[in-house]
Structure 1
Amino acid sequence: MTVTEITKRISESENADWFKSISVILKYPHLNEEITLKGATSIYRYVSNQAKGWSEFDEPLPNELLISKNYFETLRRSIANFIESHSKGINNNLDYYWNNDIQRKVNNPNGSVFNFDSPETEFLLKLFFQEQNLFTGAYNYIIGSINFNSKQSFLGAMLAYEFTQKNASEITKRRTAEKPSITRMKNDFELMLSEVDNQLITHLKDSSDKFQEYTKTIDEFKGNKEKLFNDWFINTKGDFKTFNSDSNTKIKDLENTYEELLRLKKPAAYWKDRATTLKAEGWKSTYILTALVVIACVTLYCLLWLTPEGMLASFLKGESSAIRWSVVYITFISFLAFGIRTLNKIAFSSFHLARDAEEREQLTHVYLALIKEEGIDEKDRHLIMQSLFSRADTGLLKEDSSPTMPSDFAGKLMNR
């Protein structure tokens, strides 16, 4: 893991304050150096830089210095695993796990540890690559394990002595004088890095919290808008379904009404024309009837008041001529009475049929209106259709009746 990933992981952790507060002291007694690091990010940065620095040496390192390389690499992996494992959720035993997993490795390295950028490391590596047989004596002298078991060990220790003692040469004096200052600068720099890391973690955590709050606000706003939209959509959908259903029903009713209108338009027009024709025939028969009545009255008047004297005498004498005229007159009056009676029945029958046709026309319009307003059921439809298409009583025949239509035929007519 990189330092950036470690910083982000800590800033998002609920234990961020604890990770910012932990500290370690790296002691290098053989180097007369002690480094204090505060904050998990600063500790990881320092260890990671040391591991990276040791890994950048191309030439093979001596086994004594491989201890330092392995130490920092192992410590880096341990810190990364610790942060990865304990940065999620709240853990009240972090001190225990830290001391058991990390602090124990810091305090108990498997040998003397050197920083890759320390002057002693540079001296030992240069001596190893130039005078490898003197390396062991110099290394033992620096770590405080002096053993002059050979000439090379002694010479290596002497070189290390000149390197470390201030009065050995002008160069070593300068290095010895500058070393405490450099050490303080390194410690101050590490402390400043720790403060910067903690500030960065605090800033990232605050930003993360604000971002989460802002995200939560957006999610709530989005949820409210989605709820409003869903409610509006559901209501609109319900209204649309109702409107669509009502519209389809009205359209269907209008189609039914239109179909009924098309079926009954011709009969209604026929009944209207038929009523007009029957009225004309009725008035015509009435006029002829009136004329016959006038003729009958005139002839009776003439017979009674204008009868010749000879005819009356023949009646009194019982002559055959009188009987003959009587038979002729009676026959004439009989035919005249029969014509008047027939014309009377024709006239009244015409007026009756005209009125019946008018009523059928009006009943047709009423029936269409009832269909439009849905104010008629199937039973009433059968009754109305039977009334519309039943036979009318003409009055010309004795005991003339008006039988109703068969129900099945009326049903077929309505369902066409």
Structure 2
Amino acid sequence: MMKMTGRAFAKKLFGANYERLPRTLFMEGIVFWGLYIAGFQVQIASFVRILMISAFTAGVMWQALSSKDNEVELRAMLMLPHRRREFVFSYVGVLGAYTVLTKTGLLFAVLLAVSAWKPVELAGMILCMIHGVLMAAAVYSVRKYWYVGGLWAAGIVAAILFMTIYDTGILPLNSGVVDSQSVDSIAFGNELLVGLLLLVNSLFAILILWRVDGYAFYQWESRKSHVVRQRKRAALWRYFFRYLSCHKNYLLNTAVMWCVALALPCFLREMAGLSVIPVGFAILSLNTPICILLSCDPDLEQTVRFLPGQSRRFCIPYCLFIFLCNMAADAIFLCSWQIQIGGVTVLMIAGAVFFALQSAVLSVLLEWLYPIRGWKIESDLWHHPRKYVVPVVMLLLAGAVSACPVLLPVLLGLLAAEAVGFLFLCWR
């Protein structure tokens, strides 16, 4: 029974003949050998590696568990006779394998290629992946008590930071607390303690999963009644804000980007001036969830493309919506820069308008002409490489403007011509 349940979920995620798995592993192998042959090396502290792999794996696993595309299959499987524990562990195991092999595997390949590691560290990274999967599943199964899960995650992060305090740099080696000769032995002992902590915490997560059933992973529909109000004209802006309110993770991502905009001048304080401002604008264009409105809702895309004149009625308000979201982050960034450093000029404000509008226009064109299709669950959509095409272009433009600030007026002129072409494309 457990094997049949796992096979049913695996065929949905990896394809009918598991054809997606070898293709993904092949791409990860190419990334590894490409970076390894290039000889690019980065020194990564152990606590950074642990937190990076654990947090990334847990985040992707949470997204996979909360994906609405799994509701139909999960509801159908729960209708059939099943054994509670076998069903839970087969479901978590398949989603965990999907997360580790197709998502975390790429990060794992990059870390192996660009950093030095030992066999014990390799085992630790694998343990971090398993720990992230199990902890995310355990917290998700008891998400009704969200505060317990939050305290649990915060406690684990605090314990890891405390055990690796010498790697964090919070306690410097010359502070007199410890001499440099014993650092290696202390670091090795701390890594063993962290591994033991992750192992014990994983066993605790397994114990929680042992006591829950499959319905703990099912998303029950809200019983709240909604009054449908008839309006003479449709309002896309109302839909955009309802879209954000219904997708709490997208709204949270927007709030996080605004917090990043508030704190970004602290990291760029030493390089004050226009030469570094465009980099901040490019970083703030990474709010990719609001740029996949059609890709994440195939029914909406079909409706929009079916009705006449929708390229004008949809794309222009959508472009303005993304522009305002980006501009809000840029405005927060400039205000924070003015308070902490000062010297905000009209040219900087013009740069904010350029990067916000350029990112919005490119995002809408890419979403309208090349929407993301063929994704299995929402996690595939959230981590699709096409989402990051526009931010990469923005970073390249930021580098060009930083190296040659006189390019900004030229780019503004090109943006004006691009906006005219965009309006012509929408109105034809």
TM-score range, shorter chain: under 0.3
In our comparison, the structure showing a higher alpha carbon Rg is 1
TM-score, structure 1 normalization? 0.19
Greater RCO (Cα-Cα under 8 Å, separation 6 or more): 2
